[in-house]
């Protein structure tokens, strides 16, 4: 790809909108994950006994499923971004590239 073609694509309003939308989604999902992990760490720091409480009198404490849920939440945010990229962002980018083909 030539530098001229890259500059032409960078000026395309569809590309600018695509980058803006993709960046906004990435930041929103990142903030959600950081907020969830920060809340988890704050609970550990401020009330250790809360997550150490056994579930219904069993051996497993609440910390295990909450930690597991955080991992699943992180995976879910990655899956959400990947799905959106594959279904929306990639086709838009393919059209932009096709329109600016040499």
Tell me the per-residue pLDDT of 4-41, one tens digit each, with 9 for 90 and over: 889 999 999 999 999 999 999 999 999 999 999 999 99
- Domain limits, the chain: 3-99
In tens, the pLDDT along 72-96 reads: 999 999 999 999 999 999 999 999 9
Cα 91 to Cα 3, 9, 21, 50, 73: the distances in Å are 23, 15, 14, 47, 27
pTM over the 0.85 mark: no
Cβ atoms < 10 Å from Cβ of 35 = 10
SS3 71: helix
């Amino acid at each position: 790809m030539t530098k001229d073609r890259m500059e032409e694509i960078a000026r395309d309003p569809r590309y600018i909108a695509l980058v803006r939308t993709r960046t906004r989604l990435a930041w929103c999902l990142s903030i959600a994950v950081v907020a969830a992990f920060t809340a988890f760490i704050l609970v550990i720091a401020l009330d250790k006994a809360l997550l150490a409480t056994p579930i219904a009198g069993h051996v497993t404490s609440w910390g295990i499923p909450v930690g597991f849920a955080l991992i699943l939440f992180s995976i879910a945010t990655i899956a959400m971004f990947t799905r959106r990229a594959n279904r929306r962002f990639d086709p838009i980018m393919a059209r932009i590239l096709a329109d600016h083909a040499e």
